[in-house]
Structure 1
Amino acid sequence: MARPPKNQAPDLTKAIDITTGSIERLVCPLGKPQAFLRDLKAPGLRVRVTANGAKSFVFEAKLDRQTIRRTIGDVRAWKIDQARVEANRFRVLIDNGEDPREHDKIQTAAKIERNIEAERSKTTVGEAWIAYLAARKEHWGTRHYEDHKRLAKEGGTPAKRGTRGTGKTKPGPIYALLAMRLDELTPPIIEAWAVEQGKERPTYGRLAWRCLKAFLAWCAEDREYKSLVDAGAAKTRKSRDAFGKAGQKKDVLLKEQLPAWFAAVRGLPNATVAAYLQTLLLIGSRRGELLELKWTDTDTKWNGMTIRDKVEGDRQIPLTPYVWSLLDALPRINQFVFASTRKKDQALSDPNSAMETVCITAGVQGLTLHGLRRSFKSLTEWLEIPAGVVAQIMGHKPSATAEKHYTVRPLDLIRIHHERIEAWMLEQAKVPFKRPDAVAPAPAEKAKEPTLGTDKTDKRPSSQKDPGVKPVL
């Protein structure tokens, strides 16, 4: 076939062997928005020219009796041979019954997903840990959330105690893992970490290990991280054995130790700390729950208070007379009942040092703040209080079907038992306390037998009958 002259536009009615020159001479006929020059070597390949002179390679074919077009690219970016290869690829797809447009969309989406997956694989444990805390914060109590933050603290800040002479705080157990990629948390890595933490601080490390297991379980259920983690990476026997078995805590306050302990607590110079420690024993709550108690949680009308329960959300317990006398005497510094005098708008921090001082003074070694909660439960055994009542006061879940589904105790019924517990503890501790609503016994009850010369029908006022009471003048 003779080629047209170099200054003549190619004939659009015939397929030709497309060359660079024919593309250059290609023009769009007047009055048409676009025109196509067909290639002879690659069936389906076209060069499209628009009215404004833009030129590009396109593929055109019929699929299911419909004409489809797929743009390949600008003629300035694609070489003719490259365009023919691409057109032939599209031709193969057509022969297989596939639409090149949909096929490319799927391929593009897959490529984007691979890129995203590649970026996601670079996610560090620290980034996922921050996302984990943000997602779970509304489901946790304040103290539980702060515990997780402390587990991942960097450390190195000046501190006055608990640093073994270094003068700086130590990093949290989880901090050593934060810089790693999330997909690097394999069983061998976690086992090595567990061995190191188990040697240095087994108790705190065991807490971190339990939190790490919960974190990995959350990642395994999250759409963004589930492909990067092994949910059972921290559940191996070696990582569990690295911390050893947790010893059973048996620190408890005995009945005969109550006088010395109460005397030491009541002798503390800080009235807020003294009130906190006594209340902690008398209501058996968790130490963090009591620290979060606010003035709005106390109800003096119905003599109750609301405890923020980490299990059930909150629970109502009686506001017993002696406990209320302790709380009512405290200054109202901020919203918290046990307010900090050093930190504005915050509650008291754990008074561990004060507790140690009290135990040394009272001669009760090894008693912890949580030991006071254990003491409450143990001391109630002396009074044979129903176990369900004690559990409801302390915030333990019911352990029996009847207790869980069939026993409903109103606050007034709980109050009867709780006030009895408080009165017995104060009696054993020899703490002088007279209930504000207590009524003194009538004079007639003091003397059952009439004295000599006393007329039983005497109508004089009682103040004149009892020589111990002077008449009001």
Structure 2
Amino acid sequence: MTSQTPPQRITKSYVDRLSTPATGQAFVRDTELKGFAVRVTSSGAKSFILEKRIDGKVKRLTLGRYPELTVEQARKEAHKLLGHIAVGRNPAAEKKQEALQGTTLKKAFDDFVKTRKNLKERTLYDYRRLMNVVFTDWQDKAMTSISKDMVSKRHNKIGSERGEAYANLAMRFLRALFNFAIAQYEYGNGHSILRENPVMRLTQTRAWYRVDRRQTVIKPHQLTPWYQAVISLKQDPISSQSALVADYLLFLLFTGLRRQEAATLKWSDIDLDDRSFTLKDTKNREPLTLPLTDFVFNLLQSRKAVENSEYVFAGEGKAGYLIEPRRQVQKIIQLSDVSFTLHDLRRTFITIAESIDISAYALKRLVNHKMTNDVTAGYIVSDVERLRKPMEQISIQLLRYCKVDEEKKILQFPIPRHT
């Protein structure tokens, strides 16, 4: 609700005496300077405004709050703006333009996250980490002030300190953020506040690091010591998470899943009666149902007997599921003398499958790779039962290399009794 008070000559003593409206806001207009007024809200806040017709519409410009801005300062500011308007300038548009030009990297990132509602949790985690680790000193910088030279120097700095692949990753993220800003922040005439994306300097000068795609796998002769080290992790008395991490690593190897797909798997996604499980949130956003081999079925049964979380591989953090078990992975590397990453387990699964001549179509379906350019693949329907045999064949071959008792198919791990 807005109330109007008869015009008065606005002075400091008058503003000090102004009473607070019960609701809404009240305006007192100045008798000397047309358009100049003071506004009082129900919270008691007082501010100076200027009302003037600009481009055919009455605009209300806020000059500042009282007492931070004195009456005389506000009156001078009102005079100055009236002069600008008289020569055809639009102070409101200029103020908006100035605010847009000051859009910081952090502001752009926050808006980017709000707009891109379908970002996966892991992707969002990686982006936030880049903002807080790599671009922490740029967060409060205006995007218009981040130059091509700054980008080049930062790319080189990250490459020397954190590795070339990480430097490329960071700059691909920054490029995406600038592309978003170019489309998101425009002046009233439709022109972007940014003339171009400064990260394009890396492309124009061919400065991107050449990083070959990782091709590392656990070789067949390395699987036995690796497997033994993983099993020994189950006996680790230091951490209660160690046995869970061991099962997680085995699950990755024997299913070929991506680490995030396995980590976020819930018990509600698993059908032990049907011996199958469903991935609802995959990288290509297509749900996939896969069979459980004997080995994985037994592993999950043992895990279910000792777990009470909704997640199969529960974590101790806020997410609820397992996040980056670096300490346990490092311990396995030390015990087995086999260096590996979590994604190496997926590559190992695929390599073993190819070595025993699993159908290319079956393998692509098992690891959820798209076959968009293959016309024949479009006519093939691979349901869970048709995938059961190739999945079991891969499992058997892995067990041979791991030298697990082939009759039992899985070591019978002791299940702790609840007291």
TM-score, normalised to structure 2, is 0.69
**Residue number in structure 2 paired with 1:182:** 143
For residue 213 of structure 2, give the secondary structure of its aligned residue in structure 1.
coil
- Per-residue CA deviations over 1:348-376 (Å, capped at 9, x if unaligned) read 22223322322333332x32111111111
**Residue number in structure 2 paired with 1:265:** 230
CA contact under 8 A between 1:286 and 1:370: conserved in structure 2?
yes
**Residue number in structure 2 paired with 1:299:** 271
Which of structures 1 and 2 has the larger relative contact order (alpha carbons within 8 angstroms, sep 6+)? Answer: 2
Compared with structure 1, are the counterparts of its residues 360 and 110 closer, same or farther at alpha carbon in structure 2 (3 Å cutoff)? same
Question: Which has more radius of gyration?
Answer: 1
CA contact under 8 A between 2:254 and 2:296: conserved in structure 1?
yes
**1:191 pairs with 152, 155, 159, which one?**
152
State the percentage of identical aligned residues.
25
Compared with structure 1, are the counterparts of its residues 178 and 301 closer, same or farther at alpha carbon in structure 2 (3 Å cutoff)? same
Structure 1 residue 116: Cα displacement: 1.0
- Per-residue CA deviations over 1:54-112 (Å, capped at 9, x if unaligned) read 9xxxxxxxxxxxxxxxxxx998447xxxxxxxxxxxxxxxxxxxxxx895339899542
What pairs with 1:130-169 in structure 2 (closer than 5 Å)?
130-136=110-116, 138-153=117-132
Taking the aligned partners of 2:55 and 2:403, their CA distance within structure 1 comes to 86
> Which stretch has the larger CA shift, 386-395 or 370-379?
386-395
**Residue number in structure 1 paired with 2:170:** 208
**Residue number in structure 1 paired with 2:103:** 123
Compared with structure 1, are the counterparts of its residues 401 and 298 closer, same or farther at alpha carbon in structure 2 (3 Å cutoff)? same
CA contact under 8 A between 2:182 and 2:192: conserved in structure 1?
yes
CA contact under 8 A between 1:173 and 1:208: conserved in structure 2?
yes
Q: Does the alignment pair 1:348 with 2:322?
A: yes
Taking the aligned partners of 1:246 and 1:193, their CA distance within structure 2 comes to 18
Taking the aligned partners of 1:267 and 1:229, their CA distance within structure 2 comes to 56
Q: Does the alignment pair 1:228 with 2:201?
A: no
Taking the aligned partners of 2:285 and 2:198, their CA distance within structure 1 comes to 30
Q: Report the RMSD for the aligned CA atoms in angstroms.
A: 3.1
- Per-residue CA deviations over 1:110-136 (Å, capped at 9, x if unaligned) read 542222111121121111111112222
**Residue number in structure 2 paired with 1:173:** 134
Taking the aligned partners of 2:291 and 2:205, their CA distance within structure 1 comes to 41
What pairs with 1:299-318 in structure 2 (closer than 5 Å)?
299-307=271-279, 308-318=281-291
Compared with structure 1, are the counterparts of its residues 345 and 353 closer, same or farther at alpha carbon in structure 2 (3 Å cutoff)? closer
**Residue number in structure 1 paired with 2:26:** none
Compared with structure 1, are the counterparts of its residues 259 and 349 closer, same or farther at alpha carbon in structure 2 (3 Å cutoff)? same
**Residue number in structure 1 paired with 2:21:** none
Structure 1 residue 53: Cα displacement: 12
Q: Does the alignment pair 1:338 with 2:313?
A: yes
Compared with structure 1, are the counterparts of its residues 147 and 230 closer, same or farther at alpha carbon in structure 2 (3 Å cutoff)? farther
Taking the aligned partners of 1:146 and 1:215, their CA distance within structure 2 comes to 15
Structure 1 residue 296: Cα displacement: 1.2
Taking the aligned partners of 2:361 and 2:146, their CA distance within structure 1 comes to 43
- Per-residue CA deviations over 1:282-338 (Å, capped at 9, x if unaligned) read 111111221111111112233221223122253222222211211221222321111
Letter in 2 for 1:388: Y
TM-score, normalised to structure 1, is 0.62
Taking the aligned partners of 1:421 and 1:227, their CA distance within structure 2 comes to 54
**Residue number in structure 2 paired with 1:279:** 251
Unpaired runs of 5+ residues, structure 1, are 1-51, 55-72, 79-100, 154-171, 437-473
For residue 57 of structure 2, give the secondary structure of its aligned residue in structure 1.
helix
CA contact under 8 A between 1:191 and 1:239: conserved in structure 2?
no
Taking the aligned partners of 1:237 and 1:345, their CA distance within structure 2 comes to 36
Letter in 1 for 2:182: A
For residue 96 of structure 2, give the secondary structure of its aligned residue in structure 1.
helix
For residue 305 of structure 1, give the secondary structure of its aligned residue in structure 2.
strand
CA contact under 8 A between 2:105 and 2:139: conserved in structure 1?
yes
Unpaired runs of 5+ residues, structure 2, are 1-5, 9-28, 35-52, 59-84, 236-241, 410-419
> For this pair of structures, how many residues does the alignment match?
325
Taking the aligned partners of 1:148 and 1:197, their CA distance within structure 2 comes to 15
> Which stretch has the larger CA shift, 139-148 or 396-405?
396-405
**1:408 pairs with 381, 386, 389, which one?**
381
Taking the aligned partners of 2:268 and 2:206, their CA distance within structure 1 comes to 46
**Residue number in structure 1 paired with 2:72:** none
**Residue number in structure 1 paired with 2:392:** 419
Taking the aligned partners of 2:310 and 2:7, their CA distance within structure 1 comes to 76
Taking the aligned partners of 2:139 and 2:326, their CA distance within structure 1 comes to 30
**Residue number in structure 2 paired with 1:104:** 56
CA contact under 8 A between 1:334 and 1:345: conserved in structure 2?
no
- Per-residue CA deviations over 1:401-421 (Å, capped at 9, x if unaligned) read 325532221111112211111
For residue 200 of structure 2, give the secondary structure of its aligned residue in structure 1.
coil
Structure 1 residue 230: Cα displacement: 4.4
Taking the aligned partners of 1:400 and 1:148, their CA distance within structure 2 comes to 31
Taking the aligned partners of 1:294 and 1:224, their CA distance within structure 2 comes to 44
**Residue number in structure 1 paired with 2:202:** 237
Taking the aligned partners of 1:332 and 1:239, their CA distance within structure 2 comes to 53
Taking the aligned partners of 1:414 and 1:198, their CA distance within structure 2 comes to 43
CA contact under 8 A between 1:140 and 1:310: conserved in structure 2?
no
Structure 1 residue 377: Cα displacement: 1.0
For residue 139 of structure 1, give the secondary structure of its aligned residue in structure 2.
coil
Taking the aligned partners of 2:7 and 2:57, their CA distance within structure 1 comes to 28
**2:261 pairs with 255, 275, 289, which one?**
289
Structure 1 residue 278: Cα displacement: 0.8
Letter in 2 for 1:334: S
Taking the aligned partners of 1:261 and 1:111, their CA distance within structure 2 comes to 69
